[in-house]
Chain A
Amino acid sequence: MTRSVPDRLLSFFSWACALSLISALFIIIGFLVLKGYKALTPELIFGDVRPLDALLLKRQVFGGLFPAMAGTFFLILLSMALALPLGLASGIYLAEFAPSGTKRVLSFLFDILSGIPSIVVGLFGFSITIFLHHYFGGRIFPCLLISALSLAFLVLPYIIRTTQIALESLPLSLRLTAPALGATKARNIFYVLLPSSLSGIISGLILAMGRCAEDTAVIMLTGAVATAGIPKSVFSGFEALPFYIYYMASEYSGPPELMKAYGAALILLILCTVLFVFSHGIKHLLRAKTQYLPNPL
């Protein structure tokens, strides 16, 4: 090769960095898969209960991951239900209604919110519990609802930001079509702007779901426990996959429990991978639809 020495060093350095990052990632995943693939059996999830009985809640599962998976599932569902309306509405307001001064103040506050460490959000959730506890005569404890609410606060800035960006990146020509035909602002938003930016918004929502599934710091302060079974109501304690993994990493009693922890880590990794692929796929679909070859000539 005839490239200059600095160029060759640069290329070598970049290759080395890229390869070490990739190998670090593959070592982590490979380690989990190698150690944990044997644990991936129906028993890992359902213990000695028949899967159908467990799914229909006919029998309680002991010694399986089913309660933790169910807990994570409800957690995602509930926190998205809480965060979605608020986040969408705020994102729409920022993109379509907010005067520039208001917009500056709001986006500053949302930026701060997105930077707050999740353990602090958890602490906030816990302080809410303390207040409610005093208010409702000691009947409120850390529980699924409080965790979901805190997680909702955690992902709120994500949802707001993706909604805002998805709307703001729509081309002006599309923005003006419906108003030119006499549509009101609200109609333009609901009939044209939101549908056209849907894939961007949904892809952001799925990423937010991933954050709800993986976050540990928030839920360990707001109601996740090591054994609780399937949560009976939103006011009861619950199990969750990430908390289980964290807990078992230090508290495992022997090889069988450690195996289950590997299994749980693999299941969580698979869950987050699936969410990631979905989110990516949806975004890609949008891009493929609008892509054209730029002509540089």
Chain B
Amino acid sequence: MDFQDRVFRTVFFGASVLSAGVTVAVLGFMILLSLPVLKMGFLWEVLTSPWSPGRGQFGILPMMAGTLALAFLSLLVSLPVSLGCAFFMEILHPRGAGALLKKLVHFMTAVPTVIYGFVGVFLLVPLVQEFFAYGSGMCILSASLMLGLVISPTLILFFSESFSRVPQHYLNAVDSLGGTVFQKLRHVILPQAWPGMLTGMVLAFGRAMGDTLIALMISGNAVLMPSSLLDSTRTLTAHIALIFAADFDSTEFKILFISGIVLYAMTSLGILFARYFHKRALS
């Protein structure tokens, strides 16, 4: 290899190692900063007990439950709508109306989350409050509806990509045998697209878990184990944003890094699953 090439290769390699180092450093820093708590040896307690600093309890279990509940519900809200939209633009109306819908979905990814949150606060929350005549309207239901909307572009685009990857000759086979659109979907497209769709679902779930603004702005942020749709809840992300203002030397503050590690672990696990399904989708 030519000398210049080797210089470039070394420089680019250095840059890659530096970039990849960020991934490791994020985890490393958080572990380092939560060491005081870990040394005290109550990690298990933190992960399994409620949050009540006044009584010396610093558990993040309610927040973990809140995060999972909100992510799960928003996926539940988003899944059918996203599936319908993906059918619409890949199978029923691949040109014209479908192409237009796809453009809009792409645009939705560019709309700032804080705007969804803002409209949530001033439009959705009052509506929910009025409709159920209960509480402040800042609740799991409001947050999961809005979060469902926020993650739907991820789902739709993954679904539509998986549908479009189904080989044309399979579709021709069904068409030439006189299959209806529904039969084509059921017998060929869904079985073929399934791994890719799973990838999208896992990634969308990860996005929902990692979102801060929607939860922070419209889920009410009360530290409760989620039990009803109209209850308020607090997610790990919102917890970090809220406790952040506390005294840097307090135990509350050090717990933040444990929350961060838990979030890191949950989203990374999601990425691992997504990579696994994605590999299966491509093979």
B194 within 8 A of A: no
Q: A123 near B114 (CB under 8 angstroms)?
A: no
Q: How far is the CB of B157 from chain A (nearest CB, A)?
A: 12
Q: How far is the CB of B180 from chain A (nearest CB, A)?
A: 5
Closest to A17 in B: B84
Q: How far is the CB of B114 from chain A (nearest CB, A)?
A: 4
Q: How far is the CB of B221 from chain A (nearest CB, A)?
A: 10
Chain A residues touching B, majority SS: helix
Q: Which residues of B contact A105 (CB under 8 A)?
A: 20
A21 within 8 A of B: yes
User: Contacts A14-B87, A184-B5, A249-B121 hold; do A109 and B12 have CB atoms under 8 A apart?
Assistant: no
Q: A86 near B182 (CB under 8 angstroms)?
A: no
A286 within 8 A of B: no
Q: B15 near A245 (CB under 8 angstroms)?
A: no
Q: Which residues of A contact B81 (CB under 8 A)?
A: 17, 20-21
Q: A7 near B182 (CB under 8 angstroms)?
A: yes
Contact with A along B186-205 (1 / 0, CB 8 A): 00000000000000000100
Q: Which residues of A contact B113 (CB under 8 A)?
A: 214, 216
Q: Restricting to B1-39, which residues have a CB under 8 Å from any CB of A?
A: 1-2, 4-5, 8-9, 11-16, 18-20, 22-26, 29-30, 32-33
Q: Which residues of A contact B40 (CB under 8 A)?
A: none
* Contact for B29 among A28, A127, A184, CB less than 8 A: A127
User: Contacts A117-B263, A184-B2 hold; do A123 and B30 have CB atoms under 8 A apart?
Assistant: yes
Q: Name the segment of A45-53, A55-63, A168-176, A267-275 touching the other chain.
A: A267-275
- A90-B12, A185-B2 given; 4 more Cβ-contact pairs under 8 Å: A90-B20, A93-B12, A120-B263, A216-B113
Residues of A within 8 A of B (CB): 3-4, 6-7, 9-11, 13-18, 20-22, 24-25, 27-28, 31-32, 35, 85-87, 89-90, 92-94, 96-98, 105-106, 108-124, 126-128, 130-131, 153, 156, 160, 184-186, 189, 207, 210, 213-214, 216-217, 220-221, 242, 245-246, 249-250, 261, 265, 268-269, 272-273, 275-276, 280
Sort A-B residue pairs by CB-CB distance and give the 9 closest, nearest first: A17-B84, A117-B210, A214-B112, A89-B15, A93-B12, A6-B182, A276-B110, A217-B212, A14-B88
**What would be 19 A-B contacts, judged by CB atoms less than 8 Å apart?**
A7-B182, A10-B92, A14-B87, A17-B81, A18-B84, A21-B105, A25-B104, A31-B123, A32-B115, A106-B20, A109-B24, A112-B271, A116-B23, A120-B26, A160-B19, A210-B110, A214-B113, A221-B244, A265-B119
